[in-house]
A and B are shown apart, each in its own frame.
Chain A
Amino acid sequence: MSLNTFNAEEADNLEDIERQFAVVAVEQAETYWNLLTKIKGSKLRLTKFDDDIYETFIKYFPEYQDVERVKNFKEDELKSKERKVKWREFCGEFEENVEDYNFGTLLRTNANDEYGQEGTIFVVRIQFYAFEIARNRAGLNDWICEKN
């Protein structure tokens, strides 16, 4: 659930709110993973704006047309100083349309791995969409469904 229903009157202390933030991120990851075990990633549509997100992603970061780079990337590619500036611009494009575009979200650095202690990083929702939409389109997540 988005935090829009958050009621300031009934809020506990700050610690609990921060924990809630992590809880939502984990729930989102679990829900997404469950989806991938039920339906092939290549057939999955995540939002109404998948096409927009993908096009903008490639426009800002043409290097990710290379399937291998979408499949497996380094945290630095998202979080180094220079890259961050570019990513911030990219994120701004979706401020209006995409729900929770700036929510903290877990993302696998390698499409061949499950969510785990290693290889899972913390990004914003729109970065998650960008990579996972690209991976799904390339069929990189189909193995999760076929495994069962």
Chain B
Amino acid sequence: MSAPNVSILSKNEKKSKDMLVKLGLKRVPGIIRVAYRKKNNEIIAIEKPEVYRTPGGNYVVFGEPKVDDFTQKLAAAQEQAQASGIVPSEADVATKSPADIQADMQAAADAIESGAGKVEEEDDGEVDAGDLSNDDIELVMQQANVAKNDAIKALKSHNGDIVNAIMSLSK
């Protein structure tokens, strides 16, 4: 997917960068790509970003976000292959109209804004419940108001201790 080349280095951005440096943020050199993985496995990637680190360990990322929706592409490609009986070449990419691309870009920009540019490490692969009981998992999900995977992970890291698992999630 090729995105239109938009210059986003506005006056305001420059100003905010200066301010961030004054606040004690340090530029982290040598970062080539920052990828955000969202819940639905959508990947938003920023190539050649400028990354700053706060003394508290949070990160602020500047750059041009691009949606890299791998699963959607894969699904589209599979559909094509089934419908035509042949393996498609670039067909799935070509079906994206400019409007679609615009929409993706907007979605990506919104996501970055709402995330306040903070890097979050998210791992959304299906987590194996192991020998945890379903009742325990449900209880943790309800009490801490989290998704199943998070509940399983918390229970695992607390060796099945329900109270500790809930406490770790409600922080």
Contact = CB atoms under 8 A, between A and B. Distances in A.
A47 B159 contact: yes
* Chain B: interface size category: 10 to 19
A130 to B, nearest CB: 15
Given A34-B143, A39-B139, A99 B158 contact: yes
Contacts of A100: 161, 164
Interface stretch (A13-21, A25-33, A63-71, A114-122): A25-33
A31 B140 CA distance: 11
Contacts of A43: 135
B162 A35 contact: yes
Chain B interface, DSSP helix/strand/loop, else mixed: helix
Interface residues of A, number: 21
A99 B159 contact: yes
B116 interface: no
Contact of B162 (A2, A45, A98): A45
Interface string B152-168: 00000011111110111
Given A1-B171, A39-B139, A32 B133 contact: no
A46 interface: yes
Given A1-B168, A99-B158, A35 B133 contact: no
Contacts of A83: none
The 10 closest A-B pairs by CB, nearest first: A48-B160, A1-B168, A47-B161, A31-B163, A31-B166, A32-B163, A31-B167, A99-B161, A99-B159, A1-B171
Interface of B: 133, 135-136, 139, 142-143, 158-164, 166-168, 170-171
